[in-house]
Every structure is written in C-alpha cells, then in structure tokens.
Chain A
C-alpha cells in the first residue's frame, strides 16, 4: 500500500530487520540494522541507500551518537563505531555474549550497551574505551535511557533502574508489572517514566518516582491482539518509539499493526493499516514528523504466516491528528 503519506524504502536488507533509528537532528537519515549482518544508512528524502557496512554475524541494534557517528552490535559480541563522514569503522570492544541493545546517552555523552552476558557496559566515545561494566540480574532484553537514568529489562521479568550519576549500585530494582517476558522498554522524553511491553500483547506505563501519588498513575493495557474464530491471538509488542514533543508513543506488534497511544490520557490516537509481517522496529524522527517502520517475520511461529517473508521498511509521514493528544 503506497500513498502520499507512506512509502517503502528501496534496497532493504536481505534478512529480518532488527532496528531502525533516525538521526538526531534531521529527518533525512535512517540507520537500519539487520539479521543479514549489515548496517545500512538510508537517505529518506532521496529514498536511496547511502552506505552499508558489515558485521560478522547478525546485527541486533544500532544507535546514533551524533549525526556522523553510528554504533552497532549483535551476535558477534562486538561493538563497532562507524564514522559516516570518513566511511571508517573501528571496534570499540566486546561483550562476552551477543550485544542486544545499544543506546546513546546524551546526559553523560556515553554509549550504553546491554548484552546476553547479563552485563551493561558504558563506553566513552572519546577515549574510546569501556569505562564500566555493570552486572544485571539476567540476560538483558531491553534498555532505554531516561534522562540521567537508564532502565534495563532482563529475562525473568526483572527491571533495573540505574542512575548514571552514581553507578556504584542499582538505583531501583523492580519486577515487571506484566506477567510475561519483557520485550521492549522506552523512556518518556519528559524523563518521568517509561513504557514497557511484553510478548503477551500488553504494555505498561510506569513512573520512576516512587512516591505513592506517582505510582498510582501507573497502569497497563492490552493491545496487539486479533480475534479469529473465537480464539484471541496475542502478539508480542516488539517495538516502542516516542514522539519527542507530545510524549505520545507508537507500538509495533507481531500482528503487523502500529498503534499510536496517548499514555497520559490512556487513549489510542490511531492505528495504521496492517503490514505484511510483524512490526519489528520503530523510530520516530527527532521532530516526530516521520515514523520509520521495520517490518519482518521474527520466527514467532514455526511457519511464516502467509508465506510472505520479505523485509521492508516503511516511512510514514504522520500528522498531529495521529500523534497529538486530543
């Protein structure tokens, strides 16, 4: 489905998409990491691929540090830094097991990585070295910066909140309020809390503030479920991305839908049409005017649904009607 508000990116990766990320100050550049072991940079305005580099094994996440520096890591355990200006890559270091999540933290100008070795590492882009390794209770599945704190979601539904100003110990330790495996975590742009999604079609809105009043506001809701023949199919909620100004967020599920939510007013603002496979990755541009949607089959079931197993990245221009709280 092509229309004036949405188009597909040309020359997409040849295997599932693991992450999409817009550059920090423009809507022009989009980084995409993939299971085909590549990281690609696309020019959205021209709909062309600007560059591509390889890892040895599938890449699970990618992040911009600034407009010209990208960081990527994946099953090869290696954190790479890529200089987009000079087309050069360098290896920052490694985890003991695959790197699952990479985040740039503007508050301390550092890169955070979380891996299946149950560690979160902090990297100084300038030295460039690992300046700290912080053990987590279990395999890291989700990681998001939230102001000067960051939130780690691990296997066994653990949630750890760390304060970058004091990394001597965990700042808060929680258990996910959802009953099933944590799939994705994203911090609110206003730094008050975070949104956590699980594999069981459910999303929780949580607050960092531990006072009673703040905690009273937390809630969870069901989504990304489809009823077929009296059986409700419940899909993992794979991706969350925040609109930086409105504090609304988009969720993408393996059901192939993208929903946009107003978390403070507990309202769904809109739902897009169904994509041809599950939504694996989402990224709003810095100004919230564009949403990149990575669509891939992620082996949720043994046999890919409908046989359509192609990877695509959609670019959708969104308007206030879809993203602004009513």
Chain B
C-alpha cells in the first residue's frame, strides 16, 4: 500500500467526516455542501454565517447545517476548513485514524462509493464493537430528528454512513463508549424541535411571594411602608428625590401632583381639547391619525361600536368601599362637567340618581337574600359606573338587584342554563389533567355559597 496516508495530514470535514487532499478543496466542499443557502444558493463561509444570512435575508431560521452528520449539525460552531473544529473531535478523529483501520474512518456522506464498500463486515465481526454500537444509538437518534435528507433511522447498509462515522473509531471499544455517547447527546440538543426545549430553570422565574394578603386592603395606608419608598409624611411622593435624576420631569407638576386635584384637572383638559400630532415631516410620515388619542380611543368612536341606544336605564355596580364610591362620584361629576359630551353624562347621572332611589325602595320592599346569578354569556348586562350599593353587599347580589329596576325578570329564578360559551366546549374538568382535580365545578344549581370556590 504505497499510498498510506501521512499521519494527521489530510484535512477532513467536521460536518461529514470526509477527508480531502487539500484544505482548499475542503473549503470549497464546505461552501458548496454545508454553507450554501437553500433559498438563494449563495455560498457562505461558516455555519453561523449561513444562519445569519438566512435570518436576515430570508427571515428563516436554520437550525442545522445542511448535509451534515446528525451529531455534527450544530450551526452555531464556527468552522472554516480545519479551523474551529472542537479539540475533542479533532483528537477523536486522530485516534480513530491511527487506532482504527486506515481508510475506514473516511466514510462521509459524499464520498465516492468505492472507498466505503468494506467497513461494515469488519465492524460487525470486531469483538466489542456491537455493544458499543448499540449504546451509541440513542445519541445518534436524538441528533437525527428531522434532519433534512436523512432517512428516519438508517440502520441498514445504504444509509448507514452517518453511523459508520462513529463505529469506525471504535478502536478501543470502551473509549468509544465513554467519549462518544455524551457528546453525541449534547449535539443532539440543538436539533431538538423547538416545542421540546429543555425546561426552563425555575430560578429565573420570580417566585410568587405574597407580600401581604391581598385582602388586607392595599388601599389602606402605609402600614407596610418601607425605606424603599420615598414618600413624605403626608403621603405625598417626594418626586424630587425619586425623579430628580430621571431626565425630563416637568417642574410644573411638583410634589403635589400625586393628589387627585391635578389628576382631575389634567383629565379635564384632555377632554376639552385634543392635541394634534405633527404626523408629516419633511421626509417622514407617522402612520397614525393626527389626533393625539390612542388608536383604540379613536376606533371606539366608530358607530358600530356604540352601545345600543335602546337601553333605558343603566343599573349600577357596587364598589368596595363607600369611600371609593364617593371619590368616584365626585370624580365623575367633575369629569361630566367638563366633558364634551356633557349632556349625555348629565343624563346618565340623573338616571343613576333615579336608579338609586328606585333601588333603595326595592330593597326595602323585598328583602331578598344575597343570591348568586350566573350571567349567561349572551345576556346583555348593562352596567354603569357610579357605585351606589351599600358596601356590605356582594357584587353577585347586585347582579340580581339591577334586574329589579327593569321590573321585567325579577320574578324569574336566576338563569340556570349553561352559558353559550359552553357549547362545543368540553365538560368541566376535562380540559387539562392539571385543571381537573380540585377545580371541577359542577354545572348544577348555582347557589350563593357555591360561588366562592371559584374565586380562590
């Protein structure tokens, strides 16, 4: 055998284990076989280069190097010719060339047929080779998922070359097992389908810490005040400290701005006149209506989104505390005075007043026990803003109470049917195993006490 190869001299391609006479040819091979964009056929220089090209030019993600061995498909490794080959792989290759049969390792995908006719039989008969081979299987398989142009599991001769790449360097059997398996597993990882990403480490998720029971009214003042909150003794935020270093804070709203006075006035002013945005510049145009309102506010004015005018009265919803109610009422009065649609607001306000008195009368007449009402999805439940109800009442009850004002359906029992949303949906609890156990809520009679578990 006169053409015995010089030691370590022949360049080889990390992606397909093929050997070349010259590194220039190797580079040509890599550009043509492994770094060519499948969309525009441009030849790039490295795997990451190809990946960036596809991402930027074609907006497509490439997760594997084309035409590579399953465990060598990592696109993130930067390899150019012989440069950048992971040292372990270089050693492995070296050892396999020396220890294994000369010639046998060079079994790349792209190799011409004559070179790779022999090794199968040799390997099969080599003692110790088979167990090693079977141990390698999982690693190879995991790397192989979805590999383009690779048959699902090439166990039999023709598509066997990818595996032969490893089997070839089984020289000392135990070494082969020890080194190969973990590595091929590792490199199988990037090839995993995205849906199967390894679980996110719990450490990065902020733990849910109940700083205080949410029932312990957050609205009540600064019991839990800590040094971290720069607040004055009078609860006015010391914005000069907090905001002093933060660029553009207007001095027009100094420390007092946290109070509702300035809030209300600014709300009023915003309703009085809407600023305009200079949307068109010399060489630019902001694609936005010229009014300085959000797209949603502008869209909400479209006729198709207006509340049906047929609704006569707008029953009310309770609020948590009477304080809040008073605050809101005052707020709304101020707003209503300034609103462009002042008339409508006033009208609504009067109706609410009327509703209030009516409601109170009704309550005196019918001492209805608190009652939970299932609101069917289709039922138009008119709502309004001002809190009128006594603070003790549960909101669930007030759903029933407003109905009294209408006078229509007060005698009807609360709707028992299932909401339309249920149609086509799964029965309760059947949705997800995790949902099923404790939350399974019987679809049966809806009574007040049973409402509560849902609010856990």
Binding site for B on A (CB under 8 A): 3, 5, 16, 18, 25-29, 35, 49-54, 56-58, 60, 67-69, 75-78, 81-98, 100, 106-110, 116-119, 122, 124-133, 135-139, 141, 147-148, 155-156, 163-175, 177, 180-181, 183, 189, 191, 199-201, 210-212, 215, 225, 230-236, 238, 244-245, 254-255, 270-273, 286-290, 298-301, 317-322
CB-contact partner of B258 in A85, A147, A169, A199, under 8 A: A169
Q: Contacts A110-B214, A126-B214, A163-B228 hold; do A138 and B267 have CB atoms under 8 A apart?
A: yes
Q: Across the interface, do A106 and B208 meet the contact criterion of CB distance under 8 Å? A: yes
Cβ distance A296 to chain B, nearest Cβ, rounded Å: 10
Q: Across the interface, do B55 and A126 meet the contact criterion of CB distance under 8 Å? A: no
Q: Across the interface, do A93 and B253 meet the contact criterion of CB distance under 8 Å? A: no
Q: Across the interface, do A136 and B441 meet the contact criterion of CB distance under 8 Å? A: no
Chain B residue nearest to A75 in the complex (CB): B300
Q: Across the interface, do B270 and A108 meet the contact criterion of CB distance under 8 Å? A: no
Q: Across the interface, do B284 and A191 meet the contact criterion of CB distance under 8 Å? A: no
- Bound-state CA distance A189–B245 (Å) is 24
Binding site for A on B (CB under 8 A): 51, 55-56, 59-61, 63, 75-76, 190, 193-195, 197, 199-201, 204-206, 208-212, 214-215, 217-219, 221-222, 224-226, 228-231, 235-237, 239, 241-250, 253, 257-258, 260, 262-264, 266-267, 270, 277, 283-289, 292-300, 302, 305, 307, 317-320, 324, 327-328, 331-332, 335, 374-375, 377-378, 380-386, 395-396, 399, 418-422, 424-426, 428-429, 431-432, 434-435, 439-443, 446, 451, 454-456
Note all chain A residues with C-beta closer than 8 A to B59: 270-273
Q: Which 7 A-B pairs have the closest CB atoms?
A: A132-B219, A86-B441, A96-B385, A53-B421, A232-B284, A317-B194, A53-B377
Q: Across the interface, do A108 and B211 meet the contact criterion of CB distance under 8 Å? A: yes
Note all chain A residues with C-beta closer than 8 A to B193: 317
- Bound-state CA distance A35–B295 (Å) is 12
- Bound-state CA distance A122–B218 (Å) is 8
- Bound-state CA distance A175–B251 (Å) is 11
Q: Across the interface, do A169 and B319 meet the contact criterion of CB distance under 8 Å? A: no
Q: Contacts A50-B426, A89-B375, A233-B284 hold; do A60 and B296 have CB atoms under 8 A apart?
A: yes
CB-contact partner of A131 in B217, B222, B263, under 8 A: B217
28 A-B contacts (beta carbon < 8 Å): A26-B432, A51-B424, A54-B378, A76-B307, A83-B441, A85-B441, A89-B377, A89-B419, A90-B451, A91-B383, A108-B211, A109-B210, A110-B214, A119-B331, A132-B219, A133-B219, A135-B263, A138-B266, A165-B229, A168-B221, A169-B235, A169-B237, A171-B242, A177-B248, A180-B277, A181-B294, A231-B283, A298-B295
Cβ distance A230 to chain B, nearest Cβ, rounded Å: 6
- Bound-state CA distance A177–B285 (Å) is 20
Note all chain B residues with C-beta closer than 8 A to A53: 377, 419-421
Cβ distance B41 to chain A, nearest Cβ, rounded Å: 19
Q: Contacts A96-B328, A168-B231, A200-B286 hold; do A244 and B443 have CB atoms under 8 A apart?
A: no
Q: Across the interface, do A321 and B51 meet the contact criterion of CB distance under 8 Å? A: yes
CB-contact partner of A287 in B197, B248, B426, under 8 A: B197
CB-contact partner of B285 in A25, A76, A232, A289, under 8 A: A232
Chain A residue nearest to B286 in the complex (CB): A234
Q: Across the interface, do B270 and A155 meet the contact criterion of CB distance under 8 Å? A: yes
Q: Across the interface, do B214 and A169 meet the contact criterion of CB distance under 8 Å? A: no
